[in-house]
Amino acid sequence: MNSQFKRGIIELCVLKIISEKEQSSFEVIESLGTKIDVNENTIYPILRRLTKNNYFETYTKSSPIGAPRKYYKITSLGLKKLKEFEKEWKHFLNNVLTILGGD
Amino acid sequence: MLNEFITKLACLLNQYEISDQEKEDIINDYKQMIEDGIERKLPQKTIIEMIGSPEKIVKELGFHHKKSESKRKANGEKLIALSPFISFIIFLILGFTKELWHPGWMVFLLIPITAIIVELSKKGNYMLTALSPFLSIAFFIIFGSLYELWHPTWLIFLLIPIMGIIESKSEMDNKTFFTALSPFISLISFILLQYFTGDFKYSWLVFLLIIFLGLLHEDNRNNKAILFTSLLLSTILYLLIMIIFGNWLALLSFSIFVIAGIYTGNINIDFDGESKVFALMTIILSFASFIGVGYYFDLWAVSWLFLFIIPVSFILKYNKTKPTFTPLSPFISVALLVILGYFFNLWYISWIALLLIPITAIIEDK
């Protein structure tokens, strides 16, 4: 699968799972890694980029080991972007399924 | 192993022009991820597998400017900024001391050449393609001025698409590479043969190279063998008839290849109703014009331009999307170049017609 295309899907998934539950980077990697075949190198950079774009905000929470952990929380802008992404993705998927359905 | 990961990551991040705060933030994030992994009692190897490799992470983070590159970029930008002044000084020196105002003005080509070399040396690809228009113009003007050989020196402009194909070789296999080059090789061979032999009547056969190479893309082995054999037979038969009888009807021998094409399904005119009539009429008209004008007026050197009727009329009829003139511009500019050059001996200036291609593309590009 085209890496650019895959990266777009991962962005959507990252937005979605953080919209459902605020998570740390490691938890995001764990959640995604168990569900889809994902390039582990890309997840943190995506999290960072989405945070820079103000789709996420971060806060820290204490942890039993080491320094406090950084958690990601979706912003209202992030939710808006997620809805847009979901709409585009569903539309795209419907069209693909329509084509494949012809077989 | 985990410490090595952090050290390596810090070392790689240090190579880039990023703030200390951002660097520290990234390293802390990875330290936290490692601690999360340890907390879950995961083996070190698994943690590393989950968070990735420092090299790939830094690449994915998308930092563009390495520290050394930034210095080089600054020097490069200085050089670009200085190039107009340097060119102007050289131009004045050449003009006042050697009376070389022409072709001394060509030193101004140094300005775009410097910019291209500086900018593309960072990316490391397509530099020759980007430089080829300027090198072609320089070669064309110098060679044309010195030897008054505007024709066939204009062929040097074909260096532009040829370099583009050569520098894109990594994106294609050998078969595609040679097929892509074949129209240019054929055209150059045809023009040179015409020029040096004085309208050699068999020189158009070099265009068969395009078809021969195109046939390599046929997947079916039997079809490939049939098409190759039929094209070879057609060519031999054509040559035999031409040599023995000298009759242009020899061209009909290529009907063997056409029949083989229809038989193997490679020639498949699949139009309906009005479209079928249009397609057939266009093809017949253009081939009839090519052969008729070539034979009766002995104008084979230009009559091949009638074959452009096929793509041009198809573009006009079926291309409903914009841009409108861009797809037509290669045909119009080549036709202008050849007509002005051949009939009015304006080869030294007719090459300007080729500039229509980028100009149209730029105007119509949104």
Residue A73: pLDDT band (50, 70, 90) is very high
pLDDT of A2: 59
Q: Do A25 and B33 touch (CB under 8 A)?
A: yes
Q: How far apart are CA B115 and CA B257, in angstroms?
A: 50
State pLDDT tens for residues B147-156.
Answer: 877 778 888 8
Q: Which residues pair with A73 in a beta bridge?
A: A57
CB-count burial class (<10 Å; 0-12, 13-18, 19+) for A92: exposed
Candidates B35, B57, B61; nearest CB to A65: B35
pLDDT of A55: 93
Cis geometry, peptide bond prior to residue B103 (ω within 30 degrees of 0): yes
* Number of Cβ pairs < 8 A linking chain A and chain B: 69
Q: Domain ranges in chain A?
A: 3-101
* Contact between residue B342 and residue B298 where contact means Cβ atoms under 8 Å apart: no
Mean pLDDT on A12-35: 88
State pLDDT tens for residues B14-32.
Answer: 888 788 888 888 888 888 8
Residue B320: pLDDT band (50, 70, 90) is low
Candidates B28, B33, B57; nearest CB to A26: B33
Which of A13-22, A56-65, B212-221 has the highest mean predicted lDDT (pLDDT)? A13-22
| Residues from chain A contacting residue B60 (CB–CB below 8 Å) | 41-42, 44-45
A61: left (phi over 0), alpha (psi -120 to 50) or beta: beta
Which residues fall within 8 angstroms of residue B230, CB to CB, at 6 or more apart? B256, B257, B259, B260, B261
Mean pLDDT on A34-56: 85
* Contact between residue A20 and residue A82 where contact means Cβ atoms under 8 Å apart: no
Phi, psi of B158 (to 5 degrees): -70, -10
Task: For residue A59, give the nearest of A6, A23, A35 by alpha carbon.
Answer: A23
Q: Which of residues 43-102 of B touch A (CB under 8 A)?
A: 49-53, 56-57, 59-62
DSSP state letter for B15? T
Nearest chain B residue to A47 by CA: give it: B61
Please give the residue that has the higher pLDDT: either B232 or B174.
Answer: B232
Residue B366: pLDDT band (50, 70, 90) is very low
Q: Domain ranges in chain B?
A: 2-64, 67-124
Q: Which residues pair with A60 in a beta bridge?
A: A70
* Contact between residue B47 and residue B40 where contact means Cβ atoms under 8 Å apart: no
Q: How far apart are CA B254 and CA B133, in angstroms?
A: 38
Say yes or no to pLDDT of B299 above 50: yes
Q: Which of residues 1-30 of B touch A (CB under 8 A)?
A: 26, 28-30
Q: Do A41 and B26 touch (CB under 8 A)?
A: no
| Residues from chain A contacting residue B49 (CB–CB below 8 Å) | 40
State pLDDT tens for residues B246-294.
Answer: 777 788 888 888 888 888 877 666 655 667 777 778 888 888 888 888 7
Q: Do B36 and A67 touch (CB under 8 A)?
A: no
Q: How far apart are CA A89 and CA A10, in angstroms?
A: 12
Q: Which residue has the tokens 């573009």?
A: B315
Which ipTM was obtained for this model?
A: 0.85
Interface residue B35 vs chain A (CB under 8 A)? yes
Cis geometry, peptide bond prior to residue B152 (ω within 30 degrees of 0): yes
Q: Do B29 and A41 touch (CB under 8 A)?
A: no
pLDDT of B315: 77
Candidates B26, B36, B49; nearest CB to A26: B36
Interface residue A27 vs chain B (CB under 8 A)? yes
| CA B125 to chain CA centroid, nearest Å | 14
Q: How far apart are CA B77 and CA B82, in angstroms?
A: 9
State the DSSP string of chain A: --HHHHHHHHHHHHHHHHHHS-EEHHHHHHHHHHHS---HHHHHHHHHHHHHTTSEEEEEE--SSSSPEEEEEE-HHHHHHHHHHHHHHHHHHHHHHHHHHT-
Nearest chain B residue to A30 by CA: give it: B50
Give me A75's structure tokens: 């912003």
Q: H or E element: which one contains B175?
A: helix B174-197
State the DSSP string of B333-353: HHHHHHHHHHHH--HHHHGGG
Say yes or no to pLDDT of B69 above 70: no
Helix axes B221-245 and B208-215, enclosed angle (nearest 10): 160
Q: Do A26 and B37 touch (CB under 8 A)?
A: yes
State pLDDT tens for residues B235-249.
Answer: 999 998 888 887 777
SS (H, E, C) B231-287: HHHHHHHHHHHHHHHCCHHHHHHHHHHHHHHHHCCCCCCCCCHHHHHHHHHHHHHHH
Q: Do A26 and B60 touch (CB under 8 A)?
A: no
Residue B208: pLDDT band (50, 70, 90) is confident
Query: What class is the A3-101 domain?
Result: mainly alpha
Chain A interface disruption, residue of B29, B38, B46, most A CBs within 10 A: B29
